[in-house]
Amino acid sequence: MSPDQISKWNAELRHKTPLEIVRWAIGQSDGRAIVSTNFRPYEAVLLHLCTQVQPDIPVLWADHGYNRPATYRHAERLAKLLRLNIQAYTPLVTPAR
């Protein structure tokens, strides 16, 4: 996107709701939208919005292996609650190694 296009879309989307903005963004992807997460607490809002627009949207999680147990519990709860289509990626070499 050019700076002019960014300015145009910022002006057009400025007064839209978060759901309308997410709907617009996913609509721009031509069926190739993904969302990434590290499962921090506030990301649940974005994941919720994205799944409202596209329930099967791929959710990319680059799990580096250093998360606390609470993060994994949170991720599991959120995945069940929102029926997330999680695509988890982990390093070939673990932190323990």
Q: What is the pLDDT of residue 41?
A: 82
Written as tens digits, the pLDDT of the chain (97 aa) is 899 999 999 999 999 999 999 999 999 999 999 999 999 888 999 999 999 999 999 999 999 888 899 999 999 999 999 999 999 998 888 776 7
CA distances from 29 to 18, 80, 89 (A): 17, 26, 22
Q: Whole-angstrom Cα distance, residue 11 to residue 5?
A: 10
Question: pTM (2 decimals)?
Answer: 0.85
> Is residue 12 packed enough to be buried (19+ CB in 10 Å), middle (13-18) or exposed (0-12)?
exposed
Q: What is the pLDDT of residue 43?
A: 93
Exposed e or buried b for every residue in 27-60, given b needs 16+ CB within 10 A?
A: eeeeeebebebebeeebbeebebbbebbeebebe
